[in-house]
C-alpha cells in the first residue's frame, strides 16, 4: 500500500520489536515507497480518464464463511469469458495495476510461492484472487489489520462482525471499490466477479454501490469448515504478525462467527428479488461441478455455454489429484460443533 496508509497503520498499533518484525517492516516500507511512486504516475496518466468511465453496476459476489469452497467456485466461474475477476497482481497493487505489471512481474515471480500457505491451492500473478487485500491497501482499514497486530484476548472477526455497518471508513470503502472494479475492467470488458468472505457482512453496502449486484453463498459441513478455519487463521497470523500477542483460536468462537455470518446473510438477502441471490452446497460442487455451476447460472439469469462446460471439465481433470487438507476431530469436538451450530446443521441438512 502507499507509504501514507502504511505509516498510519504502523503508528496506531503496537509492534513487538525483534529481528523478524524489523525485517518485515523494512520490507513493507521499501515496498510502499515503490507503490506510492507507481500510483502517482498512474494517476497522472489515467486519473482523468478513469473518472469519466462508468462504474460497473452488476458485479457477481461469491460470499460465505471461510473454507466453505468459495475459492473453488471462484476458480471455476473465472474460467468463463463473460467474467472479469481481479488477479493476485491487481489486488497486490491496486493503486498502480495499469502501469506497473511489467516492473513487478519478475519480483513477484521470485517471491510468490506456487501454493497458498494454508492449503495446496495454486496461486500466481494472474490467478484470480480475493479482493479484501485490495480493500486493505486502498483504504487502510480491514479486519486483515488484526492479522498484522493480533490480540491474544479476542477473535478479531467476531468483534468486526458486530460493528461492521458502523465503521466510518465505509464511505471510503464504497468509493475505493468503485474505483478498483473500474480499473479491473479497464482493459477487458465483462461482468466483475468477486470472491470475498468479508463481503458476506457488506451486502447492503455493496448494493448501495452496485445496484444490480448478484450474490452466491456457498456452504459446507462444519466438521470441515471449523478446523480448517482455525488452521488458516493460525498460519496467516504466524506468517504476518508484527507483535507477539498471538491469538489461540478455538471451536466455540469460530462457531459463534459462523452463526453471526449466517444470520447476517439471511437478514440482508431475504428481501432480495429472484435472480439476485443463489445458494449452493460445496459437496454438490465437488461431486458435480458442471451441474452445480449450471444451476447457479440459471438462478442468477446468467448464460452457461458449452465452452464453459468444457473448461470446467478440463480444470477438474487437471486438478483431479488435488489433495485437500485433512483434519481429525474428537467426539467431544464434534459434539461441541453440533451444539453450537445446531440451527446451521438443521438448515442445510448436515448430521
pLDDT tens digits along 191-202: 999 999 999 999
Say which CATH architecture domain 3-320+336-347 belongs to.
3-Layer(aba) Sandwich (3.40)
Rounded average pLDDT over 29-54: 95
- Note every long-range contact of 121-126, with CB atoms under 8 Å and residues 24 or more positions apart, other chains counting: 121/71, 123/88, 124/88, 125/87, 125/88, 125/89, 126/87, 126/88, 126/89
> Is the pLDDT assigned to residue 168 strictly greater than 80?
no
Please give the radius of gyration of the chain, using alpha carbons only, rounded to the nearest integer: 20
Stronger pLDDT, 321 or 48, i.e. the higher one: 48
Mean pLDDT estimate for the chain? 93
**Could you tell me the maximum CA-CA distance found in the chain, to the nearest angstrom?**
61
Q: What is the pLDDT of residues 56-75, one digit of tens each?
A: 999 999 999 999 999 999 99
Confidence band, pLDDT 50/70/90 cuts, at residue 123: confident
| pLDDT over 70 (residue 165) | no
Q: State the DSSP string of 179-247.
A: HHHHHHTSSS-SEEEEE-GGGGG-HHHHHHH-TT-EEEEEE--HHHHHHHHHHHHHHHHHHH-SSS---
Provide the angle, in degrees to the nearest 10, between the axes of the packed helices 251-269 and 331-340: 30
What does the pLDDT read at residue 140?
Answer: 92
Beta bridge partners of 215: 61, 277
Instruction: Enumerate the β-bridge partners of residue 115.
Output: 122
Averaged over 290-305, what is the pLDDT? Answer: 98
pLDDT digits (tens, 9 = 90+) for 238-277: 999 999 999 999 999 999 999 999 999 999 999 999 999 9
pLDDT of 170 reads 86
**Mean pLDDT value across residues 26-34:** 95
Residue 115: exposure state from Cβ atoms within 10 A (0-12, 13-18, ≥19): exposed
Q: Per-residue pLDDT for 118 more than 70?
A: no
d(CA 332, CA 80) in angstroms, rounded, equals 43
Cell of 228: 480448517
166 band by pLDDT with thresholds 50, 70 and 90 = low
> Interhelix angle for 251-269 vs 156-163, to 10°?
20
Amino acid at each position: 500500500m502507499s507509504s501514507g496508509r502504511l505509516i498510519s497503520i504502523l503508528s496506531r498499533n503496537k509492534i513487538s520489536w525483534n529481528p523478524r518484525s524489523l525485517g518485515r517492516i523494512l520490507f513493507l516500507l521499501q515496498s510502499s515507497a515503490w507503490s506510492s511512486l507507481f500510483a502517482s504516475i498512474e494517476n497522472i496518466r489515467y486519473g482523468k480518464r478513469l473518472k469519466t468511465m462508468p462504474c460497473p453496476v452488476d458485479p457477481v459476489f461469491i460470499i460465505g464463511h471461510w473454507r466453505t469452497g468459495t475459492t473453488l467456485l471462484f476458480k471455476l466461474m473465472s474460467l468463463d469469458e463473460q467474467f472479469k475477476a481481479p488477479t493476485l497482481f491487481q489486488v497486490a497493487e491496486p493503486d498502480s495495476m495499469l502501469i506497473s505489471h511489467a516492473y513487478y512481474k519478475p519480483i513477484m515471480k521470485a517471491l510468490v510461492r506456487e501454493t497458498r500457505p494454508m492449503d495446496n491451492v495454486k496461486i500466481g500473478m494472474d490467478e484470480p484472487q480475493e479482493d479484501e487485500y485490495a480493500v486493505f491497501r486502498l483504504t487502510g482499514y480491514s479486519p486483515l489489520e488484526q492479522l498484522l497486530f493480533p490480540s491474544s484476548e479476542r477473535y478479531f472477526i467476531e468483534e468486526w462482525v458486530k460493528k461492521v455497518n458502523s465503521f466510518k471508513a465505509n464511505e471510503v470503502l464504497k468509493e475505493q471499490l468503485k474505483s478498483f472494479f473500474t480499473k479491473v475492467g479497464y482493459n477487458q470488458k465483462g461482468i466483475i466477479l468477486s470472491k470475498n468472505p468479508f463481503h458476506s457482512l457488506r451486502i447492503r453496502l455493496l448494493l448501495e454501490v452496485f445496484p444490480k449486484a448478484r450474490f452466491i453463498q456457498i456452504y459446507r459441513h462444519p466438521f470441515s469448515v471449523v478446523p480448517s478455519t482455525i488452521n488458516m487463521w493460525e498460519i496467516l497470523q504466524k506468517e504476518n504478525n508484527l507483535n507477539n500477542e498471538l491469538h489461540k483460536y478455538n471451536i466455540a468462537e469460530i462457531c459463534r462467527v459462523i452463526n453471526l455470518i449466517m444470520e447476517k446473510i439471511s437478514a440482508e438477502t431475504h428481501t432480495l428479488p429472484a435472480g439476485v441471490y443463489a445458494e449452493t452446497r460445496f459437496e454438490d460442487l465437488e461431486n458435480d461441478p458442471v451441474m452445480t455451476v449450471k444451476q447457479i447460472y440459471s438462478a442468477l439469469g446468467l448464460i452457461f455455454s458449452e465452452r464453459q462446460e468444457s473448461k470446467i471439465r478440463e480444470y477438474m481433470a487437471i486438478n483431479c489429484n488435488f489433495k485437500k487438507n485433512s483434519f481429525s476431530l474428537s467426539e467431544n469436538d464434534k459434539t461441541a460443533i453440533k451444539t453450537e451450530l445446531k440451527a446451521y446443521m438443521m438448515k442445510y441438512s448436515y448430521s
